[in-house]
Structure 1
C-alpha cells in the first residue's frame, strides 16, 4: 500500500493526543506542540509529520482510494486516515489538474465520515466521544476547503450530504464543534450554498402539498411551490423535505397534521407514554427520536435552515417548518434543547408574513406549545434552569402578543407631565395611547393568560426563590409598559405583589429584587394613574415600610451606592404618587403629616409632600 508510511506517521501523531485545531501543522517539516488542554501530559512533543511520508507520483485517484478505506464513523483509524488525506492534498507531490468528478467523490466520502453521529447517546446516559467527533469534523472541513482550491476554476460542487455534514458544525455551542470548525464551516457554506445545483441533491421524500382553505392568505398558485433561489431550493427540498422530515416524522405532535396544518381532532397522547422513559424500550425511544439522540445535529441543521430563510420562502413553504418546530417545542427535556427550540421559534415567528399563522390556525397551536414553559418552576425544575427557561419563554410570548420591548425607565419630564396636566387632558391622552396600542381580541386573551396564568401563578408558586421574584417583577413591568392602560384590570393583584416584596423585612438581603419591585411600582404609577388614587394609602404604606427597612438594616448586604439607589427610587415613586394625587385633586400631605410626626426619619422620603 503506497500510503502505509503516511498512515503510520499519522497514527503516531494521533497517539500524541494532539487535537488538530490547526491542521496546517501536518504540513510542516517538524511538529513541536506545547502542552495545552488537548496535548499530552508531557511538556513538549516532537514528531515527524506525515508530509515526509507522502509517496511520489501521487494522484487524486490514490487519495480517493485512501478516503474510501474508512469504513465506519468510529473506526480506530478514522482520524489517522483523515490526517493522511489532508497531508496528501496539501503536498506538492500531488499531480496537477485533478479531475473534478474525483474531487467530488472524495468530498462525498469525507462528508460521510465527518458526520457527527452521537453513537453513545441513549435515554439514560451519553457516552459519545465528542473529542473524536470534533477532531474528525475539523479535519474533514479542512480537507473540503483544500478540495475547493484544487478544483478547476474553483467550481467544485459539494454533494448535498456533504453540505449537511458541514452545516452540522456551524454552531460552536454544540459539543462536537469548536470555534475553529464553526468559522471554517460557515466560510465553506458561504461559497457553496448559493451555487448548489439541484441535480446534486439527495432525492427528496415524496411530498403532497397540503390543501389550503380558500381565503386563508396562503393559497398555492402555479409556479409558487418552487423557491426562486438556489439556497431556497436547497433549504426546502434537500434540508426540510429530504433530510429533516423523515427524522421527525415518527415523533410529530398530534396537534399538527403531516402536511403542517393544525389537526382538526388532535388525539391526546397515550397515558403512559408522555416522556422518553415510558411506554417503550430504550431502543424504540432512540429510533423514535433520532434527532434527540444519535443524530442530534439535525437540530443544528434546522436552526441553520431557519436562520437562512426569508419571508418569501416561509410564505411558500411554511408547512415544511411547522411539524419540525412543533415537535421540538413539545419536547420538555433537556433544558438546552427547549431553549434552542424557543430561539428557533422566535426567528420563525418574526419571518412569517403578518397574519399567516392566525389565518391558518397555527397561532393557537404555537401558543399551546410555548406557554407550558412558563410553568417550569421549582421544585420540579431547579431554580437556575427555571430562570433560564422563563427568560426565553416570556419574550417568545411577547413576540406572539405583538408588542416590542420598550425602555421601562421613567424620565423626569414624564413625571412633570403628570404633575402639570389636568385629569381630563390625561384621560384624552390615555385614550389616544390605547388606540395606538390596540390589540386584537386574540392578543388580549393571550395577554390576560400571560399575566394571570403565567406571571401571577409563577410568583405565588415560587415566591420563596428571590431570583425568580426579581424576574417576575421585571417581566410584569414589561407587560405593564406594553399594555398601557389595559393593565388597570390587574392593578389589585400587582399592588398586592409589590407590597409583599417591599414590606418584607428580609428583602434587603437581595437588593436587586427590591429595586425591580420599585421600578414596577413606578411603571404602575405612570401607566395606571386613573385608578392609583384608590390605592394611595396602600402605596404610602409600602414605600414607608420599605424605607424604614432599608434605614434600619445595619447589616445591609449591598454596597452603599446600592442602598442610596434604592432610597432615590423610593423618593421618585413618592414624587410620582404626589403628582397623581395632585392631578386627582387630592391632598396627600394630610395623610403623610402624622407619619412624619411619629417617624422623623421618613422626612427625606416625603419631602415633596412636606414642601406643599
Structure 2
C-alpha cells in the first residue's frame, strides 16, 4: 500500500526519488509472486471499508444492478458529512491505489478482473457521484482504465451484471457541469474525461462481440450503440454548445461564444461522434447544421481561430458521413462557408492576424472542394436510380456558385478551382 501510494507521478506528494524507490520495490515484489492474492487482500481489507458508509442503492453487494433499489431520503444529511467519505480527507491515497490495481490487469487476466470487479465498482461509482469536480474526474479516469482492461480481455462482465445503465446514469449528470454555475476551467476538467468515458462505456458494452455472439445480436448491439450515441449528440453535446453560446437569431448572425475553450472542446466531441455514427449522421442534419452555421457565420469568430478550425473540420465530417443528403443542405453550408471566408479574408489584411488564419483559409477551400465533389457525384437511392433533386443540384451547381461569386468577387478563390484534398 505504501509503495503503491507513491507510484503515480501525477500525485502532488510524489517526487522522482520516491517514485523510483516505490517502482523498484513493486517490481521486486511482483517477481516474488502472490500479486493477485495481495491485490485481493488490499481491495477487501483496505479499500472496501472506506466506502461501506456510503452505500449505493443501485448496486447489490455482489456488484450487480439492483432492479429494486430502496430510494434514498429526499435530503440526506450525510451528503454534507465528509466523515462518511474517508477517501476524501484521511485516506487520500485511495484513488492512486485503485489506479495502480486496475493497471495490473492485462488481456490474459480476465479471471482476476472479473473476480475483483464487484470490489472496484462501488468505489468508482462513489467517486463519480461525489459533488467535488476533482473526485468526479478521478472516478471517470478510473472507469476509463477499467473499461480498457475489460475490452482487452474480451470480458462481457458489463452485460452480465447489467451495470451499463448504472454507469450511464452516474456519468450523465457530469455532462451538465457548465457555465455559469460551473466555472469554465472546472467544466473542462470534468467534461474532458466524462465524454470519452461515456463513449468507451458504450463501445465496451456494444462493440465487443465474442466469437459466439450471433449476428442478430451484433446487429441489435449496433443499433443500441448508434441510438445511445445519437442521444449524447442531441441531448448533451449540441444542447450544451447552444447553452454556453448566445444567439438572438436562428441564423446565428449575432452569435457569440463567451467560453471559447469550452465551445472548441464541445465542437471537437461533436466531430468525433459524427465520425462514429457514419451514415447515421443523415438523421440529425437538422440539428447539426444550424450549430455549424452559427459558428462559421459569427462575425467575431476570427478572434478564435481554433474554434473556427474545428467547426470547418466538423463540416467536412458532416459532408463525408452524410453525403447522400448533402444536396438538400447545400444552401446552408455554402452560406456558412462563404460568410466565414469573407470574415477571414477581411481579418487577413492584417499580417499578424492573417498568420493565425492561414490554416483556416486552406481548410475552407478544401471543404468547399469536398462539397462540390459530393454534389457532382450524387448517391443512388432506391433501385439504383438518382433522385431528381440530386440531379438538379448537380446540373445547377456551377450556376449557383457563379451567382455567389458575382455577388461578391472575394469568393472567387473559395468557390473557384478545386484544391488538392
TM-score by length of 2: 0.83
Alignment partner, residue 270 of structure 1: 73
Offset of 1:383 from its aligned partner? 0.5
d(CA) in 2 for partners of 1:523, 1:367: 26
Change (3 A) 1:506 1:274: farther
Change (3 A) 1:607 1:169: same
Alignment partner, residue 239 of structure 2: 457
Alignment partner, residue 227 of structure 2: 445
Offset of 1:327 from its aligned partner? 1.4
Alignment partner, residue 13 of structure 1: none
Alignment partner, residue 534 of structure 1: 328
Counterpart check, 1:316 vs 2:115: yes
Residue number among 343, 347, 361 corresponding to 2:162 in the alignment: 361
Change (3 A) 1:324 1:312: same
Cα contact 2:347–2:353 (8 A) shared by 1: no
Cα contact 2:241–2:263 (8 A) shared by 1: yes
d(CA) in 1 for partners of 2:181, 2:69: 28
Alignment partner, residue 246 of structure 1: 49
Alignment partner, residue 390 of structure 1: 191
Cα contact 2:226–2:277 (8 A) shared by 1: no
Alignment partner, residue 507 of structure 1: 301
Offset of 1:357 from its aligned partner? 0.5
Structure 2's unaligned 5+ residue stretches are 205-217, 246-256, 379-390
Cα contact 2:302–2:357 (8 A) shared by 1: no
Counterpart check, 1:594 vs 2:408: no
Change (3 A) 1:190 1:519: same
Change (3 A) 1:590 1:468: same
Higher helix proportion: 2
SS of residue matched to 1:264: coil
Cα contact 1:515–1:566 (8 A) shared by 2: yes
Cα contact 1:508–1:556 (8 A) shared by 2: no
Taking the TM superposition and a 5 Å limit, the aligned residue runs for 1:38-437 are: 164-195=1-32, 230-236=34-40, 238-273=41-76, 276-277=79-80, 285-309=81-105, 310-333=109-132, 335-352=133-150, 353-402=154-203
Greater C-alpha radius of gyration:
1
Cα contact 2:234–2:287 (8 A) shared by 1: no
Q: How much is the aligned-residue C-alpha RMSD, in angstroms?
A: 2.3
d(CA) in 1 for partners of 2:74, 2:312: 46
Alignment partner, residue 549 of structure 1: 343
d(CA) in 1 for partners of 2:62, 2:179: 37
Cα contact 1:511–1:562 (8 A) shared by 2: yes
Cα contact 1:501–1:514 (8 A) shared by 2: yes
Alignment partner, residue 140 of structure 1: none
Change (3 A) 1:557 1:487: farther
Change (3 A) 1:399 1:320: same
Change (3 A) 1:532 1:306: same
Q: Deviations over 1:312-336 (max 9, x none)?
A: 3112332122112211221130x32
Change (3 A) 1:607 1:384: same
Alignment partner, residue 568 of structure 1: 362
Residue number among 561, 583, 598 corresponding to 2:377 in the alignment: 583
Offset of 1:560 from its aligned partner? 3.0
Alignment partner, residue 251 of structure 2: none
SS of residue matched to 2:68: coil
The total of aligned residue pairs comes to 373
Alignment partner, residue 159 of structure 1: none
SS of residue matched to 2:417: helix
Change (3 A) 1:268 1:506: farther
Kindly indicate whether structure 1 or structure 2 has the higher relative contact order, using CA contacts under 8 Å at least 6 residues apart. 2
d(CA) in 1 for partners of 2:349, 2:129: 47
d(CA) in 2 for partners of 1:555, 1:342: 45
Change (3 A) 1:483 1:180: same
Structure 1's unaligned 5+ residue stretches are 1-163, 197-229, 278-284, 404-435
d(CA) in 1 for partners of 2:284, 2:94: 43
Q: Deviations over 1:204-245 (max 9, x none)?
A: xxxxxxxxxxxxxxxxxxxxxxxxxx1111111x11111111
d(CA) in 2 for partners of 1:354, 1:507: 46
